[in-house]
Amino acid sequence: MNVVTPPEKLTPKDFATDQEVRWCPGCGDYAILKGVQKTLADIGARPENTVFVSGIGCAARFPYYVKTYGFHTIHGRAPAFATGLKLANPDLDIWVVSGDGDALSIGGNHLFHLLRRNVDLQFLLFNNEIYGLTKGQYSPTSRQGTRSPSTPWGSLDNPASATVFAIGAGARFIARGIDSNQKHLPGVLARAHAHKGTSFVEIFQNCKVYNDGVFENFTGRDVASDRQIYVEHGKPLIFGKDGEKGLRLNTQTLSLEAVVIGDNGVSEADILVHDETNKMIATLLADMEPPAMPVALGVLYCAPGQSYDEEVTDLIRSHTPAEKPDFNKLLRAGRTWTVD
Amino acid sequence: MSNTALAEKTSDPSHRETVESAVVRFAGDSGDGMQLTGGQFTLATAFAGNDLSTFPDFPAEIRAPAGTTFGVSSFQINFGSRVIKTAGDAFDMLIAMNPAALKVELHGLKQGGVIIADTGSFGERDLRKAGYDSNPLEDGSLDGYHLVALDISKLTMEAVKDTGLSKQEALRCKNMWTLGFVYWMYGRDRKPTADWLIAKFGKRPDVAAANVAAMDAGHTVAETMELPDGVHGFHVDAADIAPGTYRTVTGAEALAWGLAAGTHLADIKMVFASYPITPASQLLHSLSKMIDHNVVTFQAEDEIAAACAAIGASFGGSLGVTSSSGPGIALKTEAIGLAISTELPLIIVNSQRAGPSTGMPTKTEQSDLYQAVLGRNADSPLCVLAARAPADCFDVAIEAVRIAIKYMTPVFILTDGYIGNAAEPWNIPDINDYAKIPVNFRTDPEGFHPFLRDDDTLARVWAVPGTPGLEHRIGGIERDYDSGNISYDPDNHQKMTDTRFAKIEGIAKDIPAQGIEDGNTSGKLAVVGWGSTYGPISRAVANLRTQGLDVSHIHIRHLWPFPENLGGLLKEFEQVLVPEMNHGQLVNVLRAEYLVPAEGLNKVSGQPFKITEIEDAIRARLES
């Protein structure tokens, strides 16, 4: 089952295990798995140095299907496990795979602290706005009014925005993709991988069985071009079928407006240029919701800073003496006395 | 228990009475610095060559309202020229810095014992706060004791008046004045404390000088004043102590060093992950300073994260260690199950405290034995060890590391608030006298799967990420015995469950046979203990054996699995008595395992057993 000497250039197939993939037919996870395996091949990942860590839920089965090291932990705790793993071996390349329940409900606390610490790993949140594995209850990202077995008259609580949460928690890399957009997703994942620190990626993932079509209002063929905006650093924030629409910053209300270039005297110069290092722009982009505004996709925010594991490594290095310290000396430090 | 004979009056005030041992209790307000004072007295006593044992007893509040009974902070020390096994039952001397301290602690003072009280803190308001209607120093209620009533506050102010300290700062020196006084009473050397004060207040030489002056003044007053009738100085001979280099050590320190010694002997990194909780935090503090000894500490966001980070570290080839007290251990439970399931080494330290729920965080108890041995969902066996005394924590920690690595299993270390905070002299061992702990990381891809087992120990292979050719995926879902892949096969689950049990049971073959601490290997009564009841049981059994009673002491370190001979050993006794600081836990595990008619002796007051309590229980069974 294991390849001793991996070939020089690995293909996506080399990252597939012999385990039967057990997601429901048509699940968005299949597409994401494909996208991740392609990314691993693209970036030249070494299987022996790569670890996929997950919590509980449909998405959490992911590690079993990627031919690297993998660990399927317990509900919500993958970030904590991954942090400990990184402290044990900072050289490992770690991917955490999670869902909206795992990451934002039972594991919300851990995700918050992972992001604030900025542990160097990739965190993929498969958001399908529903609990799949427990059979269809609403999740913390479900829209208000979601009917589910536990909310027969519609859910009452306000949903959380994964990306706004991530910004608030201090994430330094925030990106978004869509399961079915295979042209776009591997590029986003490669960027996430290249970033030092916690790279937070929200992937809109369709649950065929319990929440089919929940993202149709911006992923549907008829609306996609008007309700999605692929943001790129240094480029104007334009969208629409012919790139005729754009985002303009209203400096009076400090908010973004979707405008049509040419209408009402709007010119290309009025369109805001994306600066992925700007936290304020990232916040405004993360907060946009259809139908009034397009959904922002791509790298919303990227502002590298020192990662926690790097700081720990530096601290250890600065305290490590040239010679291995004598353990007996440690035991004898401080006040001692001798009995003859 | 001590031979202090205060009733025998001596006419010569310079005469020092020689006593075999003494128990002194320092008590004052939380802000009076009693723990620090006790700590210094402990060091001076150790330097004087006495054996000793201490018991810090303090409130949970950092600064409880001044002068209240619930704000009383105490420090007890038992020292002597003989082997000291507990912090002592009733005390010979009580230092009461205020009325609240007197009110709370007087009941523990021996009849005829010495009270040193600061009259300057016995004003009307102080008395009212402590709930006294009249001044006990004056109303005759202390007639059965020897009272040394001094205006320590005023004497301290006078002693430090030339140092230029503010009144508030000056008054803070009164603990050192009192310490100086008590130093004279027991003939202690002041120099180590003076050195320590100078080092501690390095940036405030005026404060250091004032404290030293206060201590010297207290000493001088004791030396020169006419002590009340029947009060005099004491002399305690040096104890017959084995040669070696010594230090005083608390349980928390010994545990930190022991864990680090374990990973040192295994030559791997320790990742210690925990979340602050009383009384376990001291372990985190101690280990945080050992960064140069291949120890990485991680203060996690919560107890669960701490346990999970430790497990992640073990998956990565370090030894993951997590630590807490009962309520925090409860939160870690699911994660511990994951470590059992994925068969990774993990050490979980439980510094037990009084519960349930928040209970009494600073008070000791040993009521988490069930939690450690049994407290998880499903059939989830692991190994449980218990430390019996502060210094013992060192060896127990090394043993825990050995078992965790050799058997690829979580190991619980049970200690408690008493052991963690108590101090005793420790003959510092040479790390080179300990056996290395072999670590065999798998590197050979040939025939590898993640649930390959050692034929003897049944331990799973330790294959760490970063090793080419050993890529594998594991997790909490049941794994196939022959491949490690996910399996829902009924027969396989039976086999895996049986194997997990067999692996843990097999540890019993690899640990020392249960010995007898004191007494015969058969007879009328065995007193069986675990953990910090060691001191009082040991002393009680020894006392009664000298009186001819047929009683033996058995103390269990390996609580799960038990040593193989334990059941047979217990059956050699007509009666089995199990004293525990809980409502009866080991007693029931022993009954369930061996069908022996063991009886419990239980105490859950948040205070350690007194020797007399155990003696009385033994007598009741042997003399009825």
| pLDDT beyond 50 at B197 | yes
Alpha helix segments (H runs only) across B444-533 = 490-506
Which of these, B104, B143, B137, lies nearest to B122 by C-alpha position? B137
| Buried residues in B506-530 as b, exposed as e (16+ CB within 10 A) | ebbeebeebebbbbeeebebbbbbb
Place of tokens 């007996």: A328
Distance CA B410, CA B296 (A): 19
CB pair distance less than 8 Å for A335 and B192: yes
| pLDDT beyond 70 at B112 | yes
The shortest CB-CB distance from B293 to any of A6, A47, A327 is to: A327
Query: By three-state DSSP, how is residue A210 classified?
Result: coil
Taking the Cβ of residue B292 and every Cβ of chain A, the question of whether any pair is shorter than 8 Å is answered with yes
Contact A204, A270 (CB under 8 A): no
Query: Which residues of A fall within a CB distance of 8 Å from B296?
Result: 87, 312, 316
Q: What pLDDT is stored for residue B31 in this prediction?
A: 86
DSSP-derived secondary structure letter, A138? B
Query: Which residues of B fall within a CB distance of 8 Å from A315?
Result: 291
The shortest CB-CB distance from B318 to any of A72, A88, A315 is to: A88
Q: How large is the C-alpha radius of gyration of chain A?
A: 23
pLDDT tens-digit readout, B349-402: 999 999 999 999 999 999 999 999 999 999 999 999 999 999 999 999 999 999
Which of the four pLDDT bands, split at 50, 70 and 90, describes residue B511?
Answer: very high
B75-91 mean pLDDT: 95
| pLDDT beyond 60 at B232 | yes
Give me the DSSP letters along A22-47.
-SPTT-HHHHHHHHHHHHHHHTT--G
Distance CA B233, CA B239 (A): 19
Angle at B620 between CA B614 and CA B624, to 5 degrees: 160
Which of these, A103, A156, A110, A96, lies nearest to A128 by C-alpha position? A103
Taking the Cβ of residue B194 and every Cβ of chain A, the question of whether any pair is shorter than 8 Å is answered with no
Which of these, B306, B371, B311, lies nearest to B340 by C-alpha position? B311
Q: What pLDDT is stored for residue B275 in this prediction?
A: 98
Q: What pLDDT is stored for residue A4 in this prediction?
A: 58
> In this structure, how many other beta carbons lie within 10 angstroms of the beta carbon of residue B543?
17
Q: What pLDDT is stored for residue B144 in this prediction?
A: 95
Identify the closest residue of chain A to B260 by CA–CA distance: A327
Identify the closest residue of chain A to B196 by CA–CA distance: A335
pLDDT tens-digit readout, B426-455: 999 999 999 999 999 999 999 999 999 999
Write out residues 433-452 of B within 8 Å (CB-CB) of A. 445, 448-449
Q: What pLDDT is stored for residue B164 in this prediction?
A: 87
* Strands of B270-274's sheet in order across: B295-299, B270-274, B319-324, B346-352, B410-416, B383-386, B558-560
| pLDDT beyond 90 at B1 | no
Distance from CA of B468 to the nearest CA of A (A): 5
Query: By three-state DSSP, how is residue B136 classified?
Result: coil
pLDDT > 90: what percent of chain B? 93
**Residues facing A121 on adjacent strands:** A198
What is the helix (H) or strand (E) element at residue A283, kind and residue range? Answer: helix A279-286
CB pair distance less than 8 Å for B300 and A80: yes
Q: What pLDDT is stored for residue B9 in this prediction?
A: 37
Query: Which residues of A fall within a CB distance of 8 Å from B338?
Result: 73-74
Identify the closest residue of chain B to A51 by CA–CA distance: B465
CA distances from A15 to A10, B146, B472 (A): 8, 83, 12
Place of tokens 């004072």: B37
Distance from CA of A277 to the nearest CA of B (A): 28
Give me the DSSP letters along B584-599.
SSHHHHHHHHH---EE
Query: Which residues of A fall within a CB distance of 8 Å from B465?
Result: 48-51, 69, 85, 89, 92
Give me the DSSP letters along B22-65.
EEEEEEEEGGG-HHHHHHHHHHHHHHTT-EEEEEEE--SSSSPP
Query: Which residues of A fall within a CB distance of 8 Å from B42?
Result: none
Distance CA B323, CA B336 (A): 12
Place of tokens 């102010």: B157
Q: Helix B281-288 to helix B251-266 angle, to the nearest 10 degrees?
A: 50
Which of B471, B474, B483 is best to mutate for the A interface (most A CBs within 10 A)? B471
Query: Which residues of A fall within a CB distance of 8 Å from B298?
Result: 83-84, 87
CB pair distance less than 8 Å for A89 and B245: no
pLDDT tens-digit readout, B113-131: 999 999 999 999 999 999 9
Residue ranges of chain A with pLDDT lower than 70?
1-7
Q: What pLDDT is stored for residue B2 in this prediction?
A: 38
Residue type, B200: K
Identify the closest residue of chain B to A15 by CA–CA distance: B471
CB pair distance less than 8 Å for B317 and A68: no
Spell out the residues 6+ positions from residue B41 whose beta carbon is closer than 8 angstroms to its own.
B24, B26, B75, B77, B179, B182, B183, B188
pLDDT > 70: what percent of chain B? 98
CB pair distance less than 8 Å for A80 and B248: no
| pLDDT beyond 80 at B50 | yes
| pLDDT beyond 80 at B456 | yes
Taking the Cβ of residue B548 and every Cβ of chain A, the question of whether any pair is shorter than 8 Å is answered with no
Spell out the residues 6+ positions from residue B602 whose beta carbon is closer than 8 angstroms to its own.
B579, B580, B581, B582, B583, B584
B206-217 mean pLDDT: 96
The shortest CB-CB distance from A70 to any of B293, B304, B473 is to: B473
CB pair distance less than 8 Å for B308 and A340: no
| pLDDT beyond 50 at B80 | yes
Which of these, B514, B506, B544, B508, lies nearest to B530 by C-alpha position? B514
Which of these, B15, B17, B14, B6, lies nearest to B225 by C-alpha position? B14
- Give the tokens for residue B151: 């205006």
Q: What pLDDT is stored for residue B324 in this prediction?
A: 98
Average pLDDT over all residues of chain B: 95
Query: Which residues of B fall within a CB distance of 8 Å from A52?
Result: 473
CB pair distance less than 8 Å for A71 and B301: no
The shortest CB-CB distance from A74 to any of B49, B335, B483 is to: B335
Query: Which residues of A fall within a CB distance of 8 Å from B303?
Result: none
Distance from CA of A215 to the nearest CA of B (A): 31
Sign of CA dihedral B511, B514, B516, B517: positive
Q: How large is the C-alpha radius of gyration of chain B?
A: 27
CB pair distance less than 8 Å for B246 and A339: yes
